[in-house]
A and B are shown apart, each in its own frame.
Chain A
Amino acid sequence: MLYWIDKNVKWIYPLPAVLFVGLMMIFPIGYTFWLSFHEWSMSNITPPLWVTLDNYMSLFKDELFRESLWITFYFTVVAVGVQTVLGILLALLMNKHIIGKGLVKTLFLLPMIATPVAVGLVWVLIYEPNVGVANIFLQALGLPVQEWLASPDLVIPSLILIDVWEWTPMIALIVLAGLVSLPKDPYEAAIVDGASGLQIFWNITLPLLKPAIYSAVLLRLIDALKTFDIIYATTQGGPGTSSQTLNIYGYVLGFQYFQIGKASALLMVFFAIVLSLSILVISLRKKAGASL
């Protein structure tokens, strides 16, 4: 027995983990896929009814679905874009001689490891139209006050600001780690050739940092697309449906309206989007020279 385990360590060691993932994730996703072809309201009395593609049809006719698709992309693209640029700039700053760099790095960790629900609720107070510090700040600058999370037009930018606050430090830390490990030689050669600071950044630093930046953007794109905690804790998709991302809409359909079939169809579409985007970014990273 022991000998047999020893011969097959390669397969036996990962087996429990693989079984666990299969049982807790792969099988349930298959179940969601199966449910997406059925009409059901989660009751014990009436069994799921096979309806072929009806759920998908009603989904694509649903204006709220298209809206949530748009909101999800808007939020993800802008949030990740802004935090990538800011994160790289912050990393370049932090790569200089900073007093107490260790402590600075630690404090920059706080937004991303603090409990998202608590973070969300603090921002609800900050954005509160009457007593929130965001409006007090605007007033001090002589600017008109805003409704922030309560305004249909401003709610997504307000949520993007939270996401940028929360995750810019992570991009900065990843890029900073990349900066520290850069080779010295190309820089010496460039200085000898008389290249300017900006030229050095564009032609040497940025290309060398590509793998680190791609990694950071991959992680952020996937997680931003799936943002749930912050949005649910602050707006629950509101006001109206103006911050209802795919994630929130799926939750609302499934657990508030109990439209199990339609919710499952939405979740399968969402799953397909996240997966294909991941594959795309992973292959881009491979091209940039990263191993996985």
Chain B
Amino acid sequence: MSKRKKITVKSISTNILVYFILILFILPFLWMILASFKTQQQILDTSNLFGFTPNFDNYISVFTKYAFMDFIVNSFLIAVASTFLGLILGLPAAYAIAKYKQNGLGLLILIARIVPGISFLIPWFIIFSRLELIDTYTALTLSHTLVTMPFIIWVMIPFFESMPGELEESARIDGCTTTGAFLRVILPISGPGMITSSILAFIFSWNNFMFSLILAGEKTKTLPIAVFNFLSYSEINWGGLMAASVIITLPVLVIALIMQRFIIAGLTGGAVKG
């Protein structure tokens, strides 16, 4: 009761310290946004860091000169498709692992999360080349699903475990099969878990760089690759680079701000329960 009233010197200084650390962590984002509104000349002039009139030229040129809209569409389509495929493959698996305590399979999925992606990159390149699937949505979606699916399973196992068993039992008494109960009773009330895992799966696919680096081509180039390619121009166009970085980060930031509770739960959930 009296806890809320106690505003001590100590609690004030704790607050100040936490906010100071927070500002340190946010600073690179502010820097990115600031630079994206500067001209190249303003960025190179270090004597005046904050006194400038913001202009949108970098954003305009990113979309008109470099076809960024295409890359955004590519990234979005692949992230949605691989999240969807991850859900289709992952939800039944997570349910079976949670319900029948299939710890061995759980471990297999953990290994899929642990193995360095690069250890199968060469075979992927060879196989997808032979199948003439390089630079196709199919290859990129399949590769990204290897990221999204283990993640979805990992988030969903504790979610399914915490679900009361009576729900399914009463569905069975009403004449449902296990599959019927899963589809008609379990999945419809799994909304929060599915939202959490889908958002995180989407973000991880959206952020993926390594798989797209070898499997994407001109037609299917994703945003991270396009942004990275900015570096290879002879003189670095800092403003354009930062505008592109803002564009790629913005959707993720917005999702995080809206869905913060779900994201914290998803990112740290498995670990805490551990």
Which positions in A face B, CB cutoff 8 Å? 2-3, 5-6, 9-14, 16-18, 20-21, 24-25, 27-29, 31-32, 35, 42, 90, 93-94, 96-99, 102, 104-119, 121-126, 130-131, 133, 136, 165, 169-170, 173-174, 177-178, 181, 211-212, 214-216, 219, 222, 225-226, 228-229, 232-233, 247, 250-251, 254-255, 260, 263-264, 267-268, 270-271, 274-275, 278, 285, 290-292
Contacts and interface: CB of A to CB of B under 8 A. Distances in A.
Given A2-B177, A29-B119, A215 B264 contact: no
A255 B270 CA distance: 35
Most buried by A among B120, B153, B206, B223: B120
Contacts, number: 290
A254 B274 contact: no
A10 B96 contact: yes
Given A25-B120, A93-B17, A267-B119, A122 B263 contact: no
A115 B224 contact: yes
A121 B243 CA distance: 11
Contact of B108 (A18, A24, A94): A18
A212 B93 CA distance: 26
B72 interface: no
Contacts of B274: 211-212, 214-215, 285, 290-292
Contacts of A10: 96, 100, 102
Given A10-B96, A98-B14, A136-B46, A32 B120 contact: yes
B149 to A, nearest CB: 6
Given A104-B22, A114-B253, A122 B90 contact: no
Contacts of A28: 120, 123-124, 127
B220 to A, nearest CB: 17
A14 B263 contact: no
Interface in B102-130: 102-103, 105-112, 114-127
Contact of A226 (B15, B35, B117, B246): B117
Q: Dominant SS at the A interface?
A: helix
Contacts of B223: 115
B266 to A, nearest CB: 10
Contacts of A116: 207, 209, 224
A225 B90 CA distance: 26
B249 A115 contact: yes
Interface residues of B, number: 98
B177 A247 contact: no
B55 interface: no
Given A18-B108, A118-B248, A106 B89 contact: no
Nearest to B210: A228
Contact of A165 (B18, B25, B127, B227): B25
B63 interface: no
A29 B115 contact: yes
Contacts of B213: 232
B267 A173 contact: yes
B31 A122 contact: yes
A107 B26 contact: yes
Interface string B222-248: 011001101100000010011011101
Interface in B161-185: 177-179
B1 interface: no
Contact of B179 (A2, A11, A106, A136): A2
Given A113-B263, A290-B274, A228 B26 contact: no
